[in-house]
Structure 1
């Protein structure tokens, strides 16, 4: 098995996330021992951000780091774990709302579309939207 970064790279649909991780200086953190859980937006999820948002974030490393850290949970939270909790603290410091209804799991307003991609240092859950901490939402 590979670590979180190598696993995401080999999947092929997280190029934008990996670019953001690198620009935010978090590659070594995500290659560390862990365990941690990454809620990974796909390239398609990043494409739904308002035009110019991604370019702006890639220039603002402090804000980008907060957003990337908002997608990381401490520990190994598998789908069974997510199904039993209603909120989860992020490495960014904020709390994500976990909602389970109609057989799906939502994290804030993102739907988990693929669960439990296991890695050497944690687990990846694929989500269909980029999560923005409330403190940064509305700031552009």
Structure 2
């Protein structure tokens, strides 16, 4: 679903390029904090890389895995902190949410406006 959404194409491409599709297509439930293309463009700029170059960035796999957590977290039951599949713990209050609780077969997706590095 993420790869098909026009404003999340960079995140979708990063999932594919980093080889971690299985983390996003697993049985679930999972929660995905999906950064939009503007967020990825800002991240690229901060790293001094183009949108093409970011796809070969050494830390891309970890960056992508910083956006998926095991378990189903909705806006109503969002914990103060979530440990991502990467092992990074993130305070959910730091996210700027564009949209919450997008339901797909195996996941709850929250659209956010920043990349978790």
With the shorter chain as reference, the TM-score category is: 0.7 to 0.9
Indicate the residue corresponding to 1:114 in structure 2. 99
CA–CA separation in structure 2 for the residues paired with 1:33 and 1:40: 18
1:64 matches 2:60: yes
- Select which of 9, 19, 22 maps to 1:15: 9
C-alpha displacement at 1:76, in angstroms?
Answer: 0.8
What is the aligned length? 114
1:126 is matched with which residue? 111
**1:88-99 counterparts in 2 under 5 A?**
88-99=82-93
Give the secondary structure class of the aligned counterpart of 2:69.
Answer: strand
Give 1:112 shift.
1.1
TM-score normalised over the length of structure 1: 0.74
Q: TM-score, normalised by structure 2?
A: 0.87
Q: Are 1:78 and 2:98 counterparts?
A: no
Task: Give 1:98 shift.
Answer: 2.2
Q: CA deviation at 1:123?
A: 0.8
SS of match in other structure, 1:10: coil
The Cα of 1:55 is off from its aligned counterpart by: 4.3
Please list every run of 5 or more consecutive structure 2 residues that lacks an aligned counterpart in the other structure.
Answer: none
Structure 1: tracts of 5 or more residues without a match: 1-6, 100-105, 133-140
When the two chains are superposed, the root-mean-square deviation of aligned CA atoms in Å is 1.6
